[in-house]
Amino acid sequence: MDFNNKTAIVSGAASGMGLLFSKNFASLGGNVVMADINMTDLNKYVDEINSAGKGKALGIYCDVRNYSDVKNVCEKAYNYFGNIDIIANFAGGTAVRVQKVDFNKYPEFPDIPIEVYDWGIDVNLKGPFYFAHAACKYMREQKGGLIINIGSITGMEGDGCGVDYPTAKSGIMFGLTKSLAQFGSKYGIRCVCVSPGPVLTRPEMAKMKTLLNRAADPQEIIDLILFIASEKGQFINGTNIMIDGGRDAMRRNQV
């Protein structure tokens, strides 16, 4: 695979799969605009990628909940590299976990403050929506581009406590991905959602069952995304691809 002269904007690039995708894409010659709220880690990894001497990296602060931040990333990416070929929407997470909700104090869905769920809806749903809106202006001009959304097995299953997460993820897996593919078709813009089961960006994900009795190595997810972005993956469009070790195919009493 060769991503020379291609530019990818990656949200959630300071950690986990966003970071791994950024490193892989740059190692294959592509330029990466790495966007995150965690500038300490982001700056460190931007330097690391630039020192490797292949594709270039640029780090920009971006809270994906703010449209002005998202627009700023697209503007800077375009001004710096001259094109925006890929948007990879990795920023995300389950609000009750990320916001460290105390279940002794807030035991169930209606008890958990709405602000906690606001975070989850805003990061997981509005973030990818904002990036698509801001980036499609550039992709329409250049007559091409790829938007990669990251869904989740939870978008298929639901979660009676972390309700924001499957709500947002199923929104991007189906409605957003299909709609953007429809909009983009006359401009050569594709949109694909990749929806993992458990991925070992955190050790506790190993507890989640799959038919293969293991969680994914993060690289397995990134390899699929690189394929979709490569010359060989150009016919993949407007769809959600599960990469979950068969968890979605498990009988309900096995989960």
Ligand X SMILES: NC(=O)c1ccc[n+]([C@@H]2O[C@H](COP(=O)([O-])OP(=O)(O)OC[C@H]3O[C@@H](n4cnc5c(N)ncnc54)[C@H](O)[C@@H]3O)[C@@H](O)[C@H]2O)c1
Nearer to ligand X, 13 or 181 (CB): 13
Tell me the catalytic residues: 165
Query: Cβ(75)–Cβ(7) under 8 Å?
Result: no
34 binds ligand X (CB under 6 A): no
Candidate residues 31, 198, 229, 247; the one interacting with ligand X per rule CB under 6 A: 198
CA angle centred on 86, ends 81 and 92, rounded to 5°: 115
Minimum distance of ligand X from residue 34's CB (angstroms): 10
Query: Cβ(59)–Cβ(43) under 8 Å?
Result: yes
Name the segment binding ligand X (CB under 6 A); options: 45-53, 79-87, 137-145, 191-199.
191-199
241 binds ligand X (CB under 6 A): no
Measured in whole angstroms, the distance separating CA 161 from the mean position of its chain's CA atoms is: 22
Name the segment binding ligand X (CB under 6 A); options: 31-39, 49-57, 77-85, 103-111.
31-39
226 binds ligand X (CB under 6 A): no
93 binds ligand X (CB under 6 A): yes
| Torsion of the alpha carbons at 184, 72, 170 and 148, rounded to the nearest 10 | 50
Minimum distance of ligand X from residue 142's CB (angstroms): 25
- Dist. CA 75–CA 172, nearest whole Å: 23
Six-digit token string for 119: 């975070």
- Dist. CA 85–CA 201, nearest whole Å: 26
Candidate residues 34, 91, 112, 222; the one interacting with ligand X per rule CB under 6 A: 91
**Farthest CA pair distance, the chain:** 53
What are the CA-CA distances from residue 209 to residues 135, 159, 174, 200, 255 (Å)?
36, 15, 24, 13, 6
Minimum distance of ligand X from residue 63's CB (angstroms): 4
166 binds ligand X (CB under 6 A): no
Q: Which residues contact ligand X by CB under 6 A?
A: 11-12, 14-18, 36-38, 62-65, 90-93, 123, 150, 152, 196, 198-199, 201, 205
